[in-house]
Amino acid sequence: MHRYGQPTSVIYNSIGVIKTPYVGKAPYQPVETGSGEFYLEIDEPYVEGLKGLDSFSYIYVLYFIDRVTGPARMTVTPPWSDGRAVGLFASRSPERPNPIGLSIVRLKKIIGNRVYTSGLDVFDNTPLLDIKPYIKDLDSKPDADYGWVEDADENQHLALHIQGIPHEH
């Protein structure tokens, strides 16, 4: 139990690894049409937990962002913010106090201990922490918005990133 100003620590251990084609650099966000193979390789003790997962078209993938290069700063300037500084928690920056990555991907198929997905925006061999089903009514919010991104001149650029449409930077 957390009390104000007295942090609670927790240790998590990876349950597998995320395999992607990205070794030197990775995209900012999932690219559904990303070329190459993307899959979650689940360690043996957890494979039984995949039963029934393939009945969902989308899943959440949670992981430890283990190759962060910088410290967490409370104000950041995201690539599509048009130079504007925003608070860290209003961004998806990987440099966070607790580097937990969250991506929503399309589930393609499960073969043995491998969960094949659409493009994931992480480096190869990223430690996998959890998988959760994405359930339509619970997780899809058609009345959501774009927050500060809407105001940035660069929001068309973000849209291209999100949709995975090739474009010049």
Nearer to a second copy, 35 or 142 (CB): 142
Among residues 25, 74, 83, 168, the one that binds a second copy under rule CB under 8 A: 74
Nearer to a second copy, 36 or 146 (CB): 146
Closest approach of Cβ 169 to a second copy, in Å? 19
Report 94-113 residues binding a second copy (CB under 8 A).
96-98, 100, 102, 104
Closest approach of Cβ 88 to a second copy, in Å? 4
Among residues 33, 36, 75, 109, the one that binds a second copy under rule CB under 8 A: 75
**106/26 Cα distance (integer angstroms):** 18
Closest approach of Cβ 149 to a second copy, in Å? 7
Residue type, 57: S
Is residue 141 involved in binding a second copy (CB under 8 A)? yes
Cβ atoms within 10 A of the Cβ of 16, count?
22
CA distances from 156 to 11, 82, 134, 150, 167 (A): 39, 11, 27, 9, 11
Report 117-136 residues binding a second copy (CB under 8 A).
125-136
Closest approach of Cβ 33 to a second copy, in Å? 15
Report 5-64 residues binding a second copy (CB under 8 A).
5, 7-17, 29-30, 41, 43-53, 55-58, 60, 62, 64
Residue type, 104: I
Burial class of residue 57 in the structure, from the number of CB atoms within 10 Å of its CB (0-12 exposed, 13-18 middle, 19+ buried): exposed
Instruction: Specify whether the CB–CB gap between 90 and 147 falls below 8 A.
Output: yes
Cβ atoms within 10 A of the Cβ of 32, count?
13
**72/135 Cα distance (integer angstroms):** 31
